[in-house]
Amino acid sequence: MQPFEDFAHIGAGTLAGRFIRNFWQPVMISEDLGAGQPKRIQVLGEFFTAYRGEGGAPHIVQDACPHRQTRLSLGWVEGDCVRCFYHGWMFDGEGNCTEQPAEKDSFKDKVKIQGHPARDYLGFVFAYLGDGDTPEFPLFPEIDETKDTVTYNQHPVPCNYFQRVENDLDEVHIHFVHRVSADEAGLDQLPEIEVSEADYGILRTGKRSDDGNNVTRTAHIMMPNTLMTITPGSSADPDWTLHFAWRVPITDEEMASFIISTKKGGGGGLLRRPHTDPDPNDITEDVLQGRVRVQDLDPGYRGLFNVQDNVALAGQGRIVDRSKDWLGQSDKGIILLRQIWARELKALADGMPIKNWRRPKKSFMAEKTREIELANS
Ligand code: FES
Ligand SMILES: [Fe+2]
């Protein structure tokens, strides 16, 4: 395997890690970051201190204090700065050292830690963890404009993030992994898959012959790790639903999905999805340890979809040697995804620019609604 074909390792300095760090990422749930209560979080294999200053804005700085390395997340928030618990050095959200109380001749101007741009959006704290100029923040008008009920949650998965990203290109798995639910949703037929590269990533469609339900699922896979799925309505549930997921690496062997789901009607606005009990990851572990079969789980269990995906993904191993895969024509989305990533990582390795990935400013749903209106006129 060439270094530019390693998409799994994401530590600082790795090619895939450098690539992902070019994009804003959700790093935690906003409401879990109370003012004055710093938290230690792990993203992309690194620890950070997240804190919310008196101004209310979130800040993300490196967790290790540069003095003698204790965690800044153990300290205090003062104004819009965080003060170290050990000897009181203080830092602002940009990583500048603003105080060294025990130093008679302060050398604070020489001390700088990582401080990353951060903001709240759609229930999550997003951060830009890369170097250089901060890219424009990616807004999602499909969600911003909705008057419907939008739920968000964060869901850890015990495997490498790229397994989860590949699954987003895998329309066939629905037929097997989610068989119990798919049959009900009119997705019981194997789809005809089409994929193509777009300005933002990959457009994927899975067409099934129409048996009275509208059964073409469209997904926009936005580089590097964001899925947007538009699921058509069925005769039972005529409204389209929207699903967004960011597949964010925590370490090389664990990732978290940050998920947004919109449901037509209700007008509930932005709501946190309640925790699923029992925890899907506990059930996943039971299945992987052979204590229970995934096929025997209660079809009414709210965490079933997550467990089904987790089992298929973590069942590959936490991190996988992809050279052993046998890919077929139904894997064309995964083949295209790997080709694009290899091309981008090779550009980074060669010191060349990566593609200017960008999504359209206008809503994908507006386009979809217009298509439907035209078809009906
Ligand atoms: S370790 Fe943070 S001030 Fe000493
Ligand atoms: Fe799935």
183 compared with 219, residue with greater pLDDT: 219
On the question of pLDDT at 373 being above 60, the answer is no
Question: Does 185 lie in the same domain as 74?
Answer: no
Question: Does 178 lie in the same domain as 256?
Answer: yes
Span of 79-83, 204-208, 305-309 with lowest mean pLDDT: 204-208
Question: Does 231 lie in the same domain as 98?
Answer: no
On the question of pLDDT at 85 being above 70, the answer is yes
240 compared with 193, residue with greater pLDDT: 193
Cβ–ligand 1 distance for 84 under 6 Å, the answer yes
Question: Does 149 lie in the same domain as 59?
Answer: no
Question: Does 148 lie in the same domain as 115?
Answer: no
Question: Does 85 lie in the same domain as 151?
Answer: no
On the question of pLDDT at 215 being above 70, the answer is no
On the question of pLDDT at 210 being above 80, the answer is no
CA–CA gap between residue 251 and residue 248 (Å, rounded): 9
Mean pLDDT of the chain, nearest integer: 91
238 compared with 41, residue with greater pLDDT: 41
| Any domain includes 360 | yes
Work out how many domains the chain is built from and give that number.
Answer: 2
- Residue with CA at minimum distance from ligand 1 atom 3: 87
Q: List strands edge to edge, sheet with 25-29.
A: 25-29, 124-127, 118-121
- Distance from the Cα of residue 127 to its chain's centroid: 12
Range of the domain at 244: 141-376
On the question of pLDDT at 372 being above 90, the answer is no
Question: Does 90 lie in the same domain as 35?
Answer: yes
Banded pLDDT at 258 (limits 50, 70, 90) = very high
Contact at 8 Å (CB) between 255 and 160? yes
Residue 46: other Cβ atoms inside 10 A: 18
CB-based burial label for 305 (10 Å; 0-12, 13-18, 19+): middle
Question: Does 270 lie in the same domain as 198?
Answer: yes
Structural domain ending residue among the three candidates 92, 127, 162: 127
What's the pLDDT at 309?
A: 96
Contact at 8 Å (CB) between 353 and 132? no
CA–CA gap between residue 277 and residue 181 (Å, rounded): 19
Residue 144 Cα to ligand 2 midpoint, Å, equals 25
Which of 200, 254, 260, 264 shows the shortest CA–CA distance to 232? 264
Question: Does 151 lie in the same domain as 91?
Answer: no
| Any domain includes 14 | no
| Any domain includes 9 | no
**Which residue pairs from 237-243 have beta carbons closer than 8 angstroms and sit at least 24 positions apart in sequence?**
239/263, 239/264, 239/265, 240/264, 240/365, 240/368, 242/142, 242/143, 242/146, 242/365
For residue 228, what is the domain's CATH number?
A: 3.90.380.10
On the question of pLDDT at 34 being above 80, the answer is yes
Question: Does 87 lie in the same domain as 146?
Answer: no
Span of 185-189, 209-213, 239-243, 299-303 with lowest mean pLDDT: 209-213
Banded pLDDT at 236 (limits 50, 70, 90) = low
Pocket mutation for ligand 1, best pick of 49, 63, 65 (most atoms within 8 Å of C-beta): 65
On the question of pLDDT at 232 being above 80, the answer is no
On the question of pLDDT at 29 being above 90, the answer is yes
Question: Does 370 lie in the same domain as 275?
Answer: yes
| Any domain includes 320 | yes
Which of 120, 124, 186 shows the shortest CA–CA distance to 152? 124
Average of per-residue pLDDT across 357-364:
88
For residue 63, what is the domain's CATH number?
A: 2.102.10.10
- Residue with CA at minimum distance from ligand 1 atom 4: 87
Structural domain ending residue among the three candidates 104, 127, 150: 127
| Any domain includes 289 | yes
| Any domain includes 72 | yes
Residues whose Cβ atom is located within 5 A of ion ligand 2 = 309
